[in-house]
Amino acid sequence: MSEGAVFEFILNMDGEDDIVVNKCESDINYVLKNIHQTMIIGTLDHIQFSGTNLYLEQNRIVVIKGQDDNRLWTGEAVSDDIRRVVSSSQGGRG
């Protein structure tokens, strides 16, 4: 079992700011099996995540937090991760 949290952000130009919170699932791998992703092909059963993992695809950012420390899964911690991604994509302009 891979404990942690998965956050999926859809980047849009429409100004929509919908927030959807899904129920807790048994583990990260279950979540990844049930969202569209092409990062991992094949079985996810034996993959474990640690630290912060960022997956960027088209207009989406998926943040996978693989720590057991839920303080690192807070909205503030994830917002910091997203700010770093966006800042990097803009050449360091935050």
What is the Cα–Cα distance from 89 to 66, expressed in whole angstroms?
Answer: 23
Is residue 7 within 8 Å of 78, Cβ to Cβ?
yes
- Give the list of residues 6+ apart from residue 86 with CB closer than 8 angstroms, or none: 94
pLDDT band at 94 (very low <50, low <70, confident <90, very high): very low
- pLDDT tens track for 11-70: 877 777 777 888 888 888 888 888 888 888 888 888 888 888 888 888 888 888 887 667
Its pTM stands at 0.71
Given a cut of 80, whether residue 89 has pLDDT beyond it is no
Structure tokens at 61: 């950012």
What is the Cα–Cα distance from 4 to 21, expressed in whole angstroms?
Answer: 15
Is residue 65 within 8 Å of 52, Cβ to Cβ?
yes
